[in-house]
Amino acid sequence: MSILEGNMVIAQGGGPTAVINQSLVGAVLEATRYPQIKQIYGALHGVRGLRDGTLVDLRATTHANLEAIAQTPSAALLSTRDKPDAAYCQKLFEQMKARDIRYFFYIGGNDSSETVKIIGEYAQQAAYEMRVVHIPKTIDNDLTVTDHTPGFGSAARFVAQAFAGANLDNRALPGVYLAVIMGRSAGFLTAASALARRYPDDGPHLIYVPEKQFVVDSFLQDVRRVYDQHGRCIIALSEGVWSELDSKGKPKPMIVSIFEQQGQEVPRDSFGHPRLGGGALADTLVSLITEKLQLKRVRGDTFGYLQRSFVGCVSEVDQREAREVGQKAVQFACGLGQSGSVCMRRIGNYVVEYFLETDISKIGGKVRHMPDEWINNAHNDVTPAFLEYARPLIGQIPAFEQLQATPIS
Amino acid sequence: MSILEGNMVIAQGGGPTAVINQSLVGAVLEATRYPQIKQIYGALHGVRGLRDGTLVDLRATTHANLEAIAQTPSAALLSTRDKPDAAYCQKLFEQMKARDIRYFFYIGGNDSSETVKIIGEYAQQAAYEMRVVHIPKTIDNDLTVTDHTPGFGSAARFVAQAFAGANLDNRALPGVYLAVIMGRSAGFLTAASALARRYPDDGPHLIYVPEKQFVVDSFLQDVRRVYDQHGRCIIALSEGVWSELDSKGKPKPMIVSIFEQQGQEVPRDSFGHPRLGGGALADTLVSLITEKLQLKRVRGDTFGYLQRSFVGCVSEVDQREAREVGQKAVQFACGLGQSGSVCMRRIGNYVVEYFLETDISKIGGKVRHMPDEWINNAHNDVTPAFLEYARPLIGQIPAFEQLQATPIS
């Protein structure tokens, strides 16, 4: 194999995570070990920076700044939601040719892996020799092939710590508490709320993921049963839960149904997806529980952006793996001359190894869902198998304890 | 002075904080050093546990469990919102007399300090000799006399870390981001969002507290100006912001105005105060900015319960002071035979000393507000004087850095 010489560019796409810069720094430092890589460019705002030529020189960045960046959440190279079409790709390749870019690394989730696929195909058609590697990240954990995705462990830890606290709060001042977690169609992050349970009466007592239909009547019965048992009830549910299908037979997010019932237009993002953020889902369910079950002290939160970018809540396991996928991406491209998507395979408890999925069409634009074995039969909790899967990923969360004291007669 | 012998009871009231158990453990361990204190009782669910005789024996709790509790957020003895009236007080005193309780310690905020005042007055009328001490805690920092309150530093740190992350997220994917922070009539916690700023372009760029009228038109002009300058805008505002007065000439929380405009009844808590939680305030302002300013990517979060009970975000300064106010409470009561409220006075940068305010009517039921010198003239930010005041209280927050890289021409 002849060694491909040239410049490299790296960029970050999609929603930020707490450890996305670990992958950036891992790749940049690893690249300095390969003499065939001349310039190390960073493109600002993802592929848009490559298209527009807004690049920075990452060889000129100090080691100290890189290591500080690695500890900083959210994309240091800034991000984008752009998905290149043919015209966009043409502009990208004008830049790549003009700047002799032969290595392209893109840190991102589903959309970004699709971008990597498109760029790889375009390069092949154009007979432009280059290595194109997708470095995985997403808090949603919804990439196929890989055991899990960097970024998930830290977001899952945030959710677990938030529920650990909410549970303690709710024990002290009992009532119903529900929180809406990010997750349009995959429930992994919502499921991570279960990792906060330690004592038998700890919440969340009910967990609803978008992999299963959310039946409002069953939900209310569940809440009533838990409340009667514990004198309180804590609920985790995904922003993407749905109780009916749309005209095309696809799950219609409950937030869309709520907006429709109020006669309002549902806000949409630049891809035309309905925006699932905002407090309406939590507020509506709070009203429903208050009215239908006649309960007092019913409260709802929507975790929102906190769960993906909070400074100071990182899984040490996630941090290390995010670093390593960046390093391995460069090794696969430069050491082995391969293109594809870096994946993790679990080979022990808990040990992973890294491999490259060279058929990126298995990942690009695909969505992984919670398997049935990880959701209980009543569709209102996770199974022990999920806990076993997820526990190593969040690292060591702070301990919390109940008071052990003898009652006075 | 003759030494008052008898049993002691300690309890926790009001909303939990991250360090409220430090005060509990500080008081309990300190009490074991005073031979005049026989039994050390904990009352479950605040004064309600004392009224109902649901007490636990805290001398039988292990040191290890106590130290684990100290690290655990939210009231380990559980909490209450009860405010005793005369009949309630009579029941409390039946218990106190029956159990020879001569020392009463109550860890809480404004309402709890009022409870302490009521109990002290009742004891005096009944000529029942006892020491009654209020141990301060509240995330709102709105107790009078004391320099600041235990619990505020950790909640302020949560808010600062949340905004540090939201700012990084918003740099990567620019737009408008606003977050609603707890605070009915005092803006200290919202103001703490400013502690997250490090670089000149860091948000929050705008901060609105309930001490000043929230003028919607000025707000929209502020957002437009910041957006035009930075290409993005981050806003912190208190849940208690108000733009109009009610029929009694008192500030009407904006959330109440919003509910009224929608023809809905505003939910109220057991004191009859309107409930300020839920996502309606953030959602309404997001719609307003989107429509009036024609901006894209406008997002809003409501931090909700996370800010007062998140596991794993504690100020080390706050932790230590919460411990000490508990210890000092017992020293004032047992060593000096005094009753009152434990307060802090700042005597250095940064050093505090503790003293007892024996006239609890100066504190009970009173509310402290942000002084004018800590709010800028435009009423949309805090002043450097506030930052100087608040910075030592949150401890050392995790560092975050921007990438330093040379642009490629």
Question: Taking a contact as any Cβ pair under 8 Å apart, which residues of chain B between 46 and 65 contact chain A?
Answer: 53-58, 60-62, 65
Q: Which of A177, A408, A409 to mutate to test the interface with B (most CBs of B within 10 A)?
A: A408
What is the identity of the amino acid at A237?
Answer: L
pLDDT of residue B272: 74
B173 inside 8 A of chain A by CB:
yes
Which of B65, B81, B309 comes nearest A401 by C-beta? B65
For residue B365, is pLDDT > 80?
yes
pLDDT of residue B268: 77
Question: Taking a contact as any Cβ pair under 8 Å apart, which residues of chain B between 220 and 249 contact chain A?
Answer: none
Q: B409 pLDDT band (50/70/90 cuts)? A: confident
DSSP H helices in A361-401: 384-390
Residue A104 CA to residue A360 CA, distance in Å, equals 14
Q: Which CATH code is given to the segment(s) B6-150+312-362?
A: 3.40.50.450
Topology classification of domain A6-150+314-362: Rossmann fold (3.40.50)
pLDDT of residue A354: 98
Q: B1 pLDDT band (50/70/90 cuts)? A: low
Strands B37-43 and B55-57: antiparallel
Domain regions of chain B by residue span:
6-150+312-362, 154-307+371-394
CA distance B108 to chain A (A): 13
CA distance B217 to chain A (A): 23
Do the Cβ atoms of A349 and A142 come closer than 8 Å?
Answer: no
Q: What share of chain A is helix, strand, coil (3-state, %, to 5)?
A: 40, 20, 40
Instruction: For residue A305, list chain B residues with Cβ-Cβ distance below 8 A.
Output: 165-166, 169, 177, 299, 301
Which of B65, B171, B301 comes nearest A403 by C-beta? B65
Q: B219 pLDDT band (50/70/90 cuts)? A: very high
Do residue A169 and residue B305 have CB atoms under 8 angstroms apart?
yes
pLDDT in tens, A296-335: 899 999 999 999 989 999 999 999 999 999 999 999 999 9
CATH 3.40.50.460 for domain B154-307+371-394: yes
Element (H, E) at B207: strand B206-208
Element (H, E) at A157: helix A152-172
For every residue of A42-77, DSSP letters joined together read EETTTHHHHHHT-EEEGGGS-HHHHHHHHTS-S-TT
Instruction: For residue B43, list chain A residues with Cβ-Cβ distance below 8 A.
Output: none
Q: Which residue of A has its CA nearest to B407?
A: A56
Tokens representing A178 are 């529900």
Q: Shortest CA distance to A129 belongs to which of A12, A5, A28?
A: A5
Instruction: For residue A288, list chain B residues with Cβ-Cβ distance below 8 A.
Output: none
Residues in contact with A205: Cβ distance below 8 Å, sequence separation at least 6, in sequence order: A226, A230, A233, A234, A235
Do the Cβ atoms of A339 and A133 come closer than 8 Å?
Answer: yes
Catalytic residue among B57, B100, B111, B140: B140
Do the Cβ atoms of A86 and A57 come closer than 8 Å?
Answer: no
For chain A, report the end-to-end CA distance as a whole number of angstroms. 82
Strands B406-407 and A233-238: unpaired
pLDDT in tens, A11-34: 999 999 999 999 999 999 999 999
DSSP A267: P
Do the Cβ atoms of B274 and B185 come closer than 8 Å?
Answer: no
CA distance A1 to chain B (A): 31
For residue A268, is pLDDT > 90?
no
Do residue B42 and residue A400 have CB atoms under 8 angstroms apart?
no
Residue B28 CA to residue A220 CA, distance in Å, equals 42
Which of A42, A166, A403 comes nearest B76 by C-beta? A403
Question: Taking a contact as any Cβ pair under 8 Å apart, which residues of chain B between 65 and 124 contact chain A?
Answer: 65, 68-69, 71-81
pLDDT in tens, B157-168: 999 999 999 999
pLDDT in tens, B375-385: 999 999 999 99
pLDDT in tens, A349-405: 999 999 999 999 999 889 999 999 999 999 999 999 999 999 999 999 998 999 999
Element (H, E) at B22: helix B20-31
pLDDT of residue B53: 95
Which of A286, A311, A408 comes nearest B41 by C-beta? A408
Considering chain A, what percentage of its residues have pLDDT values greater than 70? 99
Q: Shortest CA distance to A84 belongs to which of A74, A76, A94?
A: A94
Tokens representing A226 are 């838990």
Do the Cβ atoms of B79 and B11 come closer than 8 Å?
Answer: no
In 10 A of CB A58, how many CB atoms?
A: 26
pLDDT of residue A365: 83
For every residue of A77-90, DSSP letters joined together read T--------HHHHH
pLDDT of residue B263: 82
Judged on CB neighbours under 10 Å (0-12, 13-18, 19+), A83 is middle
pLDDT in tens, A171-224: 999 999 999 999 999 999 999 999 999 999 999 999 999 999 999 999 999 999
For residue B345, is pLDDT > 90?
yes
A283 inside 8 A of chain B by CB:
yes
Q: Under the phi-then-psi rule, with left for phi > 0, alpha for psi from -120 to 50, and beta for the rest, what region is B70? A: alpha
Total beta-carbon pairs less than 8 A apart between chain A and chain B:
243
Topology classification of domain A154-311+371-394: Rossmann fold (3.40.50)
Averaged pLDDT, A259-266: 83
Tokens representing B378 are 């435009």
Residue-wise burial string across A285-319, b where 16 or more C-beta atoms lie within 10 A, e elsewhere: bbeebbeebebebbbbbbbbbbbbbbbbbbbebbb
Query: What SS3 state is found at B16?
Result: coil
Do the Cβ atoms of B70 and B323 come closer than 8 Å?
Answer: yes
A404 inside 8 A of chain B by CB:
yes
Mean pLDDT of chain B: 95
Q: Which residue of A has its CA nearest to B45?
A: A172
pLDDT in tens, B123-156: 999 999 999 999 999 999 999 999 999 999 999 9
Beta bridge partners of A207: A236
Do the Cβ atoms of A157 and A341 come closer than 8 Å?
Answer: no
Considering chain B, what percentage of its residues have pLDDT values greater than 70? 99
Q: B113 pLDDT band (50/70/90 cuts)? A: very high
Residues in contact with B367: Cβ distance below 8 Å, sequence separation at least 6, in sequence order: B110, B142, B144, B185, B186
The sign of the torsion formed by the CA atoms of B259, B263, B269, B274 equals positive
Tokens representing B54 are 């649901």
Tokens representing B42 are 């904990």
The sign of the torsion formed by the CA atoms of A36, A40, A46, A48 equals negative
Residue B219 CA to residue B223 CA, distance in Å, equals 6
Rg of chain B's alpha carbons, rounded to an integer? 23
For residue B292, is pLDDT > 80?
yes
Do the Cβ atoms of A108 and A75 come closer than 8 Å?
Answer: no
Please list the active-site residues of A: 140
Q: Which residue of B has its CA nearest to A310?
A: B165
Element (H, E) at A110: helix A110-125
The sign of the torsion formed by the CA atoms of A271, A272, A277, A281 equals negative
For residue A259, is pLDDT > 90?
no
Q: B278 pLDDT band (50/70/90 cuts)? A: confident
Question: Is the pTM of the predicted complex or chain greater than 0.80?
Answer: yes
A282 inside 8 A of chain B by CB:
yes
For residue A409, is pLDDT > 90?
no
Residue A68 CA to residue A213 CA, distance in Å, equals 44
Residue-wise burial string across B330-359, b where 16 or more C-beta atoms lie within 10 A, e elsewhere: bbbbbeeeebbbbbbeeeeeeebebbbbee
The sign of the torsion formed by the CA atoms of B187, B193, B195, B198 equals negative
Strands B340-348 and B351-357: antiparallel
Same-fold call for B6-150+312-362 versus B154-307+371-394:
yes
